Amino acid sequence: MPAYVIALGIWLLTSQSGTASASNDRLAAVKALYAAADYEAALIVLATEGVGSATDQYRALCLLALGRLDEVDRLLESLVVRDPAFRISAADVTPRLIALFEETRRRLLPGILDDRFTAAKASFERGSYADAASKFTALLTLLANEETAPGESAIVTRDMRRVAEGFLNLSEKALAEGSKAIARAARDAPQPSPAPRRSDDETVITGVVERYAQAYSSLDAEAVTRVFQGENPRPLQAMFDALKSQAVEARDVRIAMDPGGWSATVTLTWVVHAVPKAGSPKKTQMVATLRMLKVVTGEWFIVSRR
């Protein structure tokens, strides 16, 4: 039996401490074993380590050297899902592992971005603005590292960033307004802060809904996003480009103000007369529900539609 394998057995019995120093020693031992081409022994040492990007990188290296490709794929997938911002250094691993990692990351990243955007938007719609701001900030940090990618993926990333920035801005405004409302309540106690005038807010909301319908009638995706910051303009404009003309009406508009007066639910009947560039004109109508939020300037915005 090689001397370094015997030394490994003795070391494993004496270095089970959870300190950072012991962890660094184990990683150094893994690198030495990998350099000596004793991949099984390196995996034994790595089994004493927890989950982490550095240790998973060496696990993948050893498994790849042993030809255990299915395990390499599963390990790289878990690494990307856990830390999509992680990038393997070319100085530390083989070109083959880098290629496998990058292919796995390209395959999984669009779904990860969509999931994170959906989770952040769900927090926003629940009124959990601090959580939403935190999630949108983390998403934007991840997106910032992807916009240099070539081709269609960079365009999609820029579109998602634009929408995420809009939601982050609304979340931060809602948080700021909430903090101001708390401060006013504390300063003016026991007198409560006056609630926003319902009739004025309803007039503004009605105007926003009318501008929303008019933007659809004008086939103007940018005008739509000015009142509905959660809308993605690219697929919307593609839909508009297929039409010769369109007339949209928002009928039977009913507004339900939430307690406090800073958000509202609007139900309406959405009536569309569309004339496509190819095919027959169509008339449709459906019941729609809009969630709306008031920001510190007194403006109202649509934040979701279903």
CATH number of the domain that residue 252 is part of = 3.10.450.50
Is residue 17, in this structure, part of any structural domain at all?
Answer: yes
Q: How many domains does the chain have?
A: 2
- Kindly tell me if the per-residue pLDDT of 191 is higher than 80: no
Is residue 125, in this structure, part of any structural domain at all?
Answer: no
Model pTM greater than 0.85?
A: no
Give the pair of three-digit tokens for residue 179.
């903090």
- Kindly tell me if the per-residue pLDDT of 216 is higher than 90: yes
Is residue 153, in this structure, part of any structural domain at all?
Answer: no
Out of 56, 83, 110, a domain closes at: 83
Phi, psi of 224 (to 5 degrees): -60, -45
- Asked if residues 284 and 272 have their Cβ atoms less than 8 Å apart, the reply is yes
pLDDT band at residue 20 under the 50/70/90 scheme: low
Out of 83, 104, 119, a domain closes at: 83
Mean pLDDT is highest, among 22-26, 27-31, 197-201, for 27-31
Q: Which range of residues forms the domain containing residue 25?
A: 3-83
Is residue 273, in this structure, part of any structural domain at all?
Answer: yes
Is residue 119, in this structure, part of any structural domain at all?
Answer: no
User: Which pairs from 54-59 meet CB under 8 Å and 24+ separation?
Assistant: 54/27, 55/27, 55/30, 57/88, 57/92, 57/93, 57/97, 58/27, 58/30, 58/31, 58/34
pLDDT band at residue 67 under the 50/70/90 scheme: very high
pLDDT band at residue 269 under the 50/70/90 scheme: very high
Is residue 279, in this structure, part of any structural domain at all?
Answer: yes
123-150 confidence digits (pLDDT tens): 888 888 889 889 888 888 888 877 555 5
Out of 48, 68, 83, a domain closes at: 83
Mean pLDDT is highest, among 89-93, 157-161, 207-211, for 207-211
Mean pLDDT to the nearest integer, 252-278: 89
Is residue 124, in this structure, part of any structural domain at all?
Answer: no
Can you tell me which residue has the tokens 């701001």? 133
> Which one has a higher pLDDT value, 253 or 4?
253
What is the three-class DSSP state of 290? strand
Q: What whole-number distance in Å separates Cα of residue 278 and Cα of residue 216? A: 19
- pLDDT of 6: 41
Q: What whole-number distance in Å separates Cα of residue 250 and Cα of residue 269? A: 6
